Amino acid sequence: MDKQRTHFGYQEVPTEEKASRVADVFHSVAARYDVMNDLMSFGIHRVWKRLTLERAGVRPGQRVLDIAGGTGDLTLKLAERVGENGRVVLADINASMLKVGRDKLLDKGVGGNVEYVQANAECLPFPDNSFDCITIAFGLRNVTDKDAALRSMTRVLKPGGRLLILEFSKPESQVLSKIYDEYSFRLLPKIGELVANDAASYRYLAESIRMHPDQETLKGMMENAGLERVEYQNMTGGIVALHRGIKL
């Protein structure tokens, strides 16, 4: 594809427009995002995130960056694990999502060890070698230049640091893939219309999943960004995959 154009779901749009279009989607869905997550995944997203936390191996006193952290599900648990001497930065490009996340965490009593930063994953505003661990859950597929984002994340990781990417991926069986397509394109926009009064945004989210690199392609992209010992684990039949790489 021409570098001046990129995908927005199944549409082809000017590259410089994608970020603002994605922003419009998440401004629209921010207030109902948590409710929709539970409905869309039947609550299974909590299991996926729990496994991500276990694989992150975060310890007290460490510095962690949660990119596209949205409403703060991972940040909340990461903050508990790093303790009062550690630090978690919840970063999101979208101000509406960041506000929802900050309000939710403050309501839950999360305080001094969490920082909130509006940031673009492609050009993170942090010094080299800043973080022991970086997580990004269901955010990479919305990034315009994924290779630039992976390089940026690798740059701000400390040597020995870990990047974990939790993202929708490619189902392992054709039968599951067909069922998943029916659900995504027929049922999901209807749920979005009923709950969030926004069918179009949820149609985009379904399309963006299909345009995201498959498991092996993403593994290769992480290696090209400079990460080592990259591996992935399929969950729920490959509907979701957890990739993990280390900066040596």
DSSP code string of the chain: --TTEEEETTEEEEHHHHHHHHHHHHHHHGGGHHHHHHHHHTTTHHHHHHHHHHHHT--TT-EEEEET-TT-HHHHHHHHHH-TTSEEEEEES-HHHHHHHHHHHHHTT--TTEEEEE--GGG-SS-TT-EEEEEEES-GGG-S-HHHHHHHHHHHEEEEEEEEEEEE---SSHHHHHHHHHIIIIIHHHHHHHHHS-HHHHHHHHHHHHHS--HHHHHHHHHHTT-EEEEEEEEGGGTEEEEEEE--
Specify the pTM.
0.89
Q: Which residues pair with 160 in a beta bridge?
A: none
Rounded CA-CA distance 65/196 in Å is 29
Query: Which pLDDT value is given to residue 42?
Result: 86
Share of the chain above pLDDT 90, in %: 66
148 is in an annotated binding site: no
142 is in an annotated binding site: no
Rounded CA-CA distance 209/111 in Å is 34
Query: Which pLDDT value is given to residue 117?
Result: 97
121 is in an annotated binding site: yes
CATH 3.40.640.10 corresponds to the domain 25-173+202-246: no
pLDDT (mean) for 31-55: 84
pLDDT (mean) for 47-75: 96
More confident residue, 147 or 96: 147
Residues 106-147 pLDDT 10s:
999 997 999 999 999 999 999 999 999 999 999 999 999 999
Residues 155-214 pLDDT 10s:
999 999 999 999 999 999 999 999 988 988 888 888 878 877 778 877 887 888 888 999
147 is in an annotated binding site: no
